[in-house]
Every structure is written in structure tokens, then in C-alpha cells.
Structure 1
Amino acid sequence: TSINQTLTQLLTYNDLWKSDKQKYTSRFTLKSRTYSDYDEIMNFFSNIYSIELCFKQFHQALTYHYQYHFEYSQTESKLIQTLFPRLIELVEQSHIIEHRLKLIRERFREIIQYDIELFQRMIDELVDKFDKYGPYKINNDLNQIFLLVKQYEKEINNIEQRKIELINIMKLFHIPLINYPNLIRIQKEINGLNILFNIYDEFKRNKKLWSNILWTELNINDLIINVDLFIKNFRRLSLDIKTTIVGHTVEQYLTGYLI
């Protein structure tokens, strides 16, 4: 039954706590403690408190059933009577250890705050570099432009990974999450540049195929239709992509092929 499962789970946590209490408490006296250590023990406490809540709910249900002369089996009743004091002891021990961790939690919060400030500086440096020396600052060299785009994309992916790690840590310590509008702007611009790159790269590959066709075998009308299809696809792009400096350069590259 569900009550037996819950009580058995409580026994497991009680035994686990007895065997691992020293491990959990001593770990936080070490200089090498980590966020994952803290997360592990907080999850342990959370599980204990969940068992406590389930136990209290069962206890209320039992009281209610006894009022109506409904009796559980002797085994379950004895198990409840035996485990209730152990549950109280387990919860009290958990609260004591959790209280001792307050100083550690505050120390972690200080470290996290430093990490947040460091992360903000990383973003500021990336944005400043992108605005001053990024793809929009290169004139008429699409190969160089898109090579630079790929480099920035790698940097942004690393920053995004770090952001995910920070978010998980901030959630763990109940720290309000932060928006990074400048990072979002750069990500949006990189996405737009990648769309332009896909059009440019596909056109360049087709251009190479067309150049390998003998003039005697080349159908000019088909060539014009194919080029025009690329131009139409480009002009379907959103204004914020096709009206950029790089967008104009790609458009000139497409339209200039047949001139």
C-alpha cells in the first residue's frame, strides 16, 4: 500500500542519514566545497521534508479513520508508532544542519554575486568588441565577414553556456534572475548574419557549378531564373536583416552576377 511505501521510504532516509550525516556535514568544512555539494544536501533535506509532510497526512487520515472505527492492520499501526519518533528526530537533525549551513549559503551568495559581475563584464567586452570591430565594420569582403561571424558565434555559445550555469546556481540560492538585453541584441544580429551567410554560401556553390558548365550547354534563361530565385529569397528577408551593411553587400553580390 502507499502508506507502507512511504514508511519504508522514511526508514531508508533515516538509515541513510545515520550513515551519511558525517559525510554531509564534514564536506562543508572543506575549502573545496562546491555548489553541487550544496545542491545535493538541500535535495536531501527536501526529500526528508516531503516524507514528513506525507507522514503527517497519513497520520491525519489515520486519526480520521479511527474516529469512524476503521482500523489499519497491526503491522502498519505498529510501523507508524515506531517510526513517528524517528521521523521527528530526523527532521530536527535536518533543521539543525540546515541552520548551520546559513553561513555557507551566504558565502556562496557572495561568490555568486562576484560571478554575476564577472559575467556582466564578459558581455560588455563582447558587445564593445562586436560594435567596434565586428562584421559590420568590414567593407565588401563577404568571406572575411562571415568568417568573423563564426568566430563571434563560438564566443556567444560559450557565454550562453556560462549563462545557463549561472541561472541554475541563482535558482538554487533563490537569487533573482537577470536579463542581458545587449547579449540578446548581439545574438539576434548573429542570427540575422547567419541567414545572410546561408544565402551567400548557397549562391556561391551554385555559382561554381554554373561556371563549370560549357557555354554551349548553358541555358541562359535557366541561369537567369535561378539567380532571380536567390534575389527573391533575399528580398523576402525581414528589413532588419536585408537593410544592414552586410545585407546590402550580399544583395550586390547576387544582383551583380549577371551584369
Structure 2
Amino acid sequence: MNLNLNNKVFIISGGAKGIGGAISRGLVEEGAIPVMVDPSDKEASEIIDLAKGKALQIPIRLFSAEQAKEVIELTLKTFGRIDGIVNNAGANDGVGLEHGNPDAYANSVAKNLFHYYYLAHYALPQLKEHQGAIVNISSKTAVTGQGSTSGYISAKGAQLALTREWAVELLPYQIRVNAILPAEVYTPMYASWIQSFPNPEEKLQEISNRIPLGKRMTTPEEIASMAIFLLSEKASHITGQHLYVDGGYTHLDRSL
């Protein structure tokens, strides 16, 4: 399927590793130009090589409104247009109710949520001009809970609410806004977490056995495929949706 993304420019926060890296690589394969807001130099350089130079790394962790504004300005200076945003960067930092505190909670929400708004806000004139798209990467934990991670969950739930809010607000401009909710995705960060257990292989198999479809983890590439589709004109009448790419983990009986 030709997604007609050739030479279109997409900004991906956290776009060099894990899910973001898979999205950037998939965009390159479609002929699009990824702008990776990510300090991971090695991974970003590999994607730039894959793109034969038609890609850009902005080597920062995105936190502030000023940083987001600079990302938009540098992207326009380099490529002259912006066709879409993938809000992806964030981390499950374990700031809970019992084992947290108000300052840590506020910081967790801020670093996992605010840059989603900042990037969309400063990109909006370009998204209007090109009838672009926004994809917000959220998490199944926003609807299931997880325990001991109040800050991250608050941000992820807010991302889903903003997806619907922005979809409504941006209807007059034909800008589509959707969210993807991954569950158990085997990223490098996830692999590091698995290695923290006394028997990592046993723990990984235990989790995989709870995933109904195929008894296996979702791959970053499977999340990327959905994100890239949603950025494309092939998804031209899809907006305000929360899409689960999780092998049935969230909604199906895990005893299946």
C-alpha cells in the first residue's frame, strides 16, 4: 500500500529508540522525513544513514515550551514544512500515591504530559496549512491502572482526553488527532526492566503468556505501523480515536 508520504515531514518526540525509533524507521521506508527529538545519538545516526541524510536529529529531551518552539523553528528552517506530529516521549517513573510526594508527582505529570501540548501548539500553523495529523502515544495503563505510578498514569489519561479535545477543536482545519495505547511492547527500555528480575527469561514468558494473541509481546514495529497509517491520507476519516495495538491484552480474557 502506497501511503503517499513521500517527502512529508514528521516530528517524533523520543524518535530514535523504542517505539519512536520504529516509527522513524518506518517513515523513512515510506519516503517520509523524520525529525527525531531525542538525545540518543547512536540510534539517531543509524536512522539518518538509513534515510540517506533525509532525516534530522534534534538531540534534546523535550520538556519546556521554549524547547518545543525551537524544535518547530529548526524543522522549518531545515525542511520548510511540517505534516504531522507524533507525541511519544515519556517514561513510567514509578511516582505513586503511597511512595511518592506532591513535588515528585507534579514533576512526573509535567515531564510526561506538557510537551505533548507544547509541540502541538507550536506546530499548529503548519498542521493547518498542510491538513496534517497528530498521533499521541498513550498507554493501556491509562484505562487499566497499574499501581504505584500515579504521575505517569495521570499524564497518559490526560493524553487520551486531549486527543478527543483536539480532534474536536481542529475539525474545521481537517486536522486528524488519534491516540495509540500500547500494552506490553518489547522495547530496549522494557528489556532493561526485565533484566532487573532474578530470572528474566521466566518473567518475560510469564508476561507473554498473558497476551491472548500469539502469547507474545507486541513489537515496536507493530505500533509504528499503526502510527504511520494514522499519519497518512489512508486514514483520512479517522479522528478522535483511541486505538489498542496490544494483541488483545487490554480487553480480552487473559486466561484464553
- Give the TM-score normalised by structure 1: 0.22
Q: Which has the higher helix share?
A: 1
| The structure with more radius of gyration | 1
Q: Which has the higher strand share?
A: 2
